[in-house]
Amino acid sequence: MTQGRTRSGPGVAGRAGGGRLGLEGLGEGTVPYPWPYDSALNVARLALVVAGANQRWTDRCVDPAPARAAVHQTTAMVRRYGTHVVFLRHASQVVGSRGPDCHRLSSPHRRSRDPHELGVRPMPTDTVVDAAGIDGFFGSSLDTMLQAWGCTHLAIAGFGLEGPVHSTLRSANDRGYECLLLADACGAVSEQTRQGALSTVTMSGGIFGAVGNSAHLAALLEAAQAAALGPDLRGHLLP
Amino acid sequence: MTRTRTAAPLTTTEGRTFGVVEAAPYPWPHDGSIDPEHTAVMNIDWQRDFCGPGGYLDAMGYDLSLTRAGLRPTAAVLDAVRPLGFHVLHTREGHRPDLSDCPRNKLWRSKRIGAGIGDPGPAGRILIRGEPGWEIVPEVAPLPGEQVVDKPGKGAFYSSDLDLMLRTMGVTHLVLTGITTDVCVHTTMREANDRGYECLLLSDCTGATDVANYEASLNMVTMQGGVFGSVATSASFLAALR
């Protein structure tokens, strides 16, 4: 099966990122293009959005611990730059309003927790937004707030990469936000769908934005701050 | 939240209802029967730009056989549902000729990969309303009376009149065909599901630019207990209509 005539052929050898199409080179930089599209990142126009922050989604992830650690680290990092941090909580559908209890958690020990409770801990300066859908923009004030803050660029992380993270990313992209999906700060429901969820973003030149890691974001923020401050003031960041 | 059937249908035809479709991860629909008066078959972006020669995907070098694979099964589904009184709608992704509704980052990415939106190509200007590439391919062309929704984004609900039309029609259930599975179809299914529509994705009536991404997209529906809806083959769907 051909991957496309512009590629070097089927089964491109030496793919990184689990061998998935579009994720080659993720280690070196954001893919499939150097994010952001407009080159100069303005920290004041950036927000970090952590989707799927309630327990129903944090509990679904196959291996949430590394994602939790990365979310914790990344939120701490961006706060130093004064970047807005938003945690999204997604409404549970009323059990029984859909015949098959599709929001039933498969593992009995998880059922004791309130699915709407946050599975991660925001800081007082962070914003928690409740959304009516799996998409963080649906039935929420997210868009209004981002517009009020003047945000044009979003770094997106969270739990349920295949669910709230991707739905929120797609919605943001349709609205014209320039999005960077932080692959290492996302918990996924399965490894196979994780790879598909990341790869799809890179199709068609970056159909939903770009994929990167929190280290890429850190480097971008540092460079943006240095450029804004000028050569004499580099290094004087918020404590 | 699911939609309740409160809107009066536009016609007074008394048609049949049908039983459930053998689907994964649950028999569809959850409420146990299919009523054509309240069900729409949504055909997403079967445009030359995505499955025809000289269009957007072709310009980027993608294998069109993957996105064309669902055409014949979709045509068979349309032949089956039209006489039974199902609503049939179609979507098209495309932009105004002056690109005033095209986000700048979307435009930049498309140009970078050699398929600039609005740029001239073998099928006319890429992804522009009214151009040859933007038209729905003849194999699954809309019939007179079937609504076509034009959209500037990947989701058919964003910035369109789709939701208003479906409400007015009294539609509560959607059966999805179209391309690409992982982009416009999935985005639309997610939007629809959040709005309370009960969705069924027909697995052989769709395709993506990459087979593994197509498979992952189906798994994203089936593996979460059906948070977005359910998945079935067109054969299973048609079997339920007999």
| Complex prediction ipTM | 0.93
A236 pLDDT exceeds 80? Answer: no
pLDDT score of A14: 31
Q: CA–CA distance from B241 to each of A198, B55, B73, B174 (Å)?
A: 37, 35, 15, 15
Q: Average pLDDT for residues A196-200, to the nearest whole number? A: 97
**Residue A192 and residue B219: Cβ atoms within 8 Å?**
yes
| pLDDT > 90 in chain A, percent | 66
Amino acid at residue number A201 = V
Which of A99, A100, A174 minimises the CB distance to B153? A174
Task: Examine the residue annotation and report whether B151 is marked as an active-site residue of this protein.
Answer: yes
Has residue A204 got a pLDDT over 50? yes
Query: CA A23 to CA A30: how far, in whole Å?
Result: 9
CB neighbour class for B51 (10 Å; exposed up to 12, middle 13-18, buried from 19): buried
pLDDT of residue A140: 97
Residue B45: active-site member: yes
Q: Which residues, listed in sequence order, are joined to residue A131 by a DSSP beta bridge? A: A90
- Cβ contacts of B220 on chain A, cutoff 8 Å: 162-163, 166, 193, 196-197
Nearest to B58 by CA among B47, B67, B66, B49: B49
Q: Which residue, among B187, B181, B179, has the nearest Cα to B160 in the 3D structure?
A: B187
pLDDT score, position B9 = 45
Tens-place pLDDT, residues A40-60: 799 999 999 999 999 889 989
Asked whether the beta carbons of residue B154 and residue A176 sit closer than 8 angstroms, the reply is no
The reported pLDDT for the residue numbered A231 is: 61
Q: Residue A183: which pLDDT band, with cuts at 50, 70 and 90? A: very high
Predicted local distance difference test score (pLDDT) of residue B42: 98
In this complex, do A133 and B194 lie within 8 Å of one another by their Cβ atoms? yes
Q: d(Cα A144, Cα A168) in Å, to the nearest integer?
A: 14
Which of A7-16, A88-97, A198-207, B169-178 has the lowest average pLDDT?
Answer: A7-16
Question: Residue A110 has what pLDDT?
Answer: 42
Average pLDDT over residues A207-236: 85
Cβ-based contacts of A111 with chain B (< 8 Å): none
Yes or no: say if B118 and B107 are a contact pair by the CB < 8 Å rule. yes
The share of chain A scoring above pLDDT 70, in percent, equals 78
Q: Is the pLDDT reported for residue A9 higher than 70?
A: no
Model-level pTM?
0.90
Residues of chain B where predicted confidence (pLDDT) is lower than 50: 6-13
pLDDT, averaged across chain A: 83
**Of A103, A8, A11, A3, residue with least CA distance to A59:** A103
State whether A196 and B219 contact (CB < 8 Å): yes
B124-125 and B147-151 strand pairing: unpaired
What's the confidence (pLDDT) of residue A97? 40
The answer to whether B210 is a known catalytic residue is: no
pLDDT recorded at residue B2: 62
DSSP B192-237: HHHTT-EEEEEEEEEE-SSHHHHHHHHHHHHTTTSSS-EEE-HHHH
Judge contact between B115 and B56, C-beta under 8 A.
yes
Q: Which residue has the higher pLDDT, A219 or A99?
A: A219
Q: Can you tell me the distance from the alpha carbon of A204 to that of B179, in angstroms, rounded to the nearest whole number?
A: 13
Q: Do A196 and B103 touch (CB under 8 A)?
A: no
- Cα B94 → chain centroid: 14
pLDDT in tens, A105-152: 333 334 446 767 777 889 999 999 999 999 999 999 999 999 999 999
Cβ-based contacts of B104 with chain A (< 8 Å): 37-38, 176
Structure confidence at residue A127 (pLDDT)? 97
